[in-house]
Amino acid sequence: MPSHPAKKLETFPNPAPARDYHIHMEIPEFTCLCPKTGQPDFATLILDYIPDKKCIELKSLKLYIWSYRDEGAFHEAVTNRILDDLAAALKPRYMRLTAKFYVRGGIFTNVVAEHRKAGWKPLTVVELGRFEGQSNIRE
């Protein structure tokens, strides 16, 4: 049975809820329509999040992203709507969605939107050097 676009986002339990860890996804085939001209807009979406109790199920994410193919939307509006929908479904500790739209009229547009759970603070970043014994801790 073939798949169809869908707005329903499915989740599954976070397998390591006691730990902050980063999930990074790149979605290079996002399309929607320009609300002014009806022409297609193409973008790569970059989703970064730190889950709390839930993670996104990938097939449902794919079908959700596909559901925008025939919708007219300004870049800023569609980026924020996708972030809002994902944040509502997952209730993550942190989430950033970067939408990198391809050139239109000589202009590239990047839209970055973020969500933070109330009271959540990121852990200190540890940067490891290239050589054994060399590391830096950044506050």
Q: Which residue in the list 41, 48, 84, 85 is annotated as catalytic?
A: 41
32 is catalytic: no
CB atoms within 10 A of CB 79: 23
20 is catalytic: no
**CA distances, 69 to each of 20, 86, 116 (Å):** 33, 18, 28
> What three-state secondary structure class fits 88?
helix
Element (H, E) at 86: helix 75-90
Q: Which residue in the list 34, 48, 70, 84 is annotated as catalytic?
A: 34
55 is written with which tokens?
A: 């993670």
Residues designated catalytic: 34, 41
